[in-house]
Chains A and B, each alone.
Chain A
Amino acid sequence: MNSMEITAGEYALGLLEGAELAQFERQLAHDRALQVEVARWQMQFSDLDATAQPQTVSAALWNRIESSVGAAAATSRETKPGIAELLWENLGFWRGASFAGVAASLMLAVSVGLLAGRATPVPLVVAVLLSDDASPGAIVEAFHDGRVVVVPLRDIVVPDGKALEVWTLFDKARGPVSLGLIDRSRRAQFSTSNLPARETQLYEITLEPATGSPIGRPTGPILMKGLAATPRI
């Protein structure tokens, strides 16, 4: 074991300070071997995280997080129109969810990027759609060539005469655009053209008549939804 491995362990323990810490972090930013080493130590110590007393998140804390994330979104409004609105919509949706659930979903979203990265091509964006109990319901992957793949993560009961309709919202003024219908809970692929697939774009699945929504926008209940993220490969 070399000296940097031990220093990585000290870093993972939180022992580095001041100039030593700054120097380590500078190197860590571009040294992949060191990143691997730190991740390994973090993994090895992580059993200790699970021993902490679970504590519930107060409503007051949720409110503060909501307004802060809203402010964060507002500052990026100039460069990425629509993000603030999409974040707000989703905050309302996620509000009742458990904190761990939301965090786990974020984690899942980035992990899926990794799995997708092993195959070619790599999706432009990946979204994990959550049910209103914050459990992951489906994964959406959108590819460069306009393909959108939807993989349900659990069984969804579709009543007779109904279908699941997949939507995406990339322009608030235009409203949700239908990607297509799924008759039951299984992998589906849609071909789209000229539809954007961007970071934070909203995807959702609603329950609609078997032939799809008659008015071109969602009419039935939203079964699950989520924001797209770019997989980091």
Chain B
Amino acid sequence: MIGVAARIVRRRELAEEVVHDVFVQIWRHAGSFNPSIGSGRAWLYSIVRNRSINLLRDSSREQSTPEDEIATLVEAGGAAEDAFQKLAESSALRRCLQQLDAKRRLGLLLAYVEGLSHGEIAARLGVPLGTAKAWLRRSLIALRDCLA
């Protein structure tokens, strides 16, 4: 869980913060998970990711990273690509992502793995915001068709 959070918040101590909050949240509200509609594992990680993204977006509004903390940054960039490379050969998700155009695939991975927003993805891919949004929606459609 710390690993998933760290790819998004990029700092070990923030990732621990996320896991702390998630654990307390689960302890209090284990019942908000409905086992009849999904896997517990996926649900758990979705909470970790949501919490990480919230923390990231809150903190980016409030403060920039102080110089002396840069050394503690979890290696940024490449986490999205790396996650794709590490997907098991047998993974249907890997096969379907492979069918996407490289840039569009990266957009999707940047959102899920690194928690980037539409705007950040557009900047990273060097395309206008509207284009990035349209790409992501079309990628989702292609993915769903492929995984069906």
Contact = CB atoms under 8 A, between A and B. Distances in A.
A53 B7 CA distance: 9
Given A49-B45, A232-B31, A110 B40 contact: yes
B144 A42 contact: no
A166 B3 CA distance: 38
Interface residues of chain B: helix, strand, loop or mixed (majority): helix
A217 B55 CA distance: 48
A136 interface: no
Given A14-B115, A15-B136, A69 B27 contact: yes
Contact of B108 (A13, A35, A38, A39): A13
Interface residues of B, number: 61
Interface in A22-55: 32, 35-36, 38-40, 42-49, 51-55
Nearest to B23: A65
Contact of B1 (A103, A109, A114): A103
A13 B112 contact: yes
B3 A36 contact: no
A53 B136 CA distance: 26
A contact residues, range: 35 or more
Contacts of B26: 103, 106
B148 to A, nearest CB: 9
Interface in A180-233: 229-230, 232-233
A44 B30 CA distance: 22
Contacts of B12: 55
A156 interface: no
Interface string B58-91: 0000000000000000000000001110111001
B104 interface: no
Interface of B: 1-4, 6-7, 12, 15-16, 19-20, 23-24, 26-28, 30-31, 33-46, 49-50, 53, 57, 82-84, 86-88, 91, 93-94, 108-109, 111-113, 115, 117-118, 136-137, 140-141, 143-145, 147
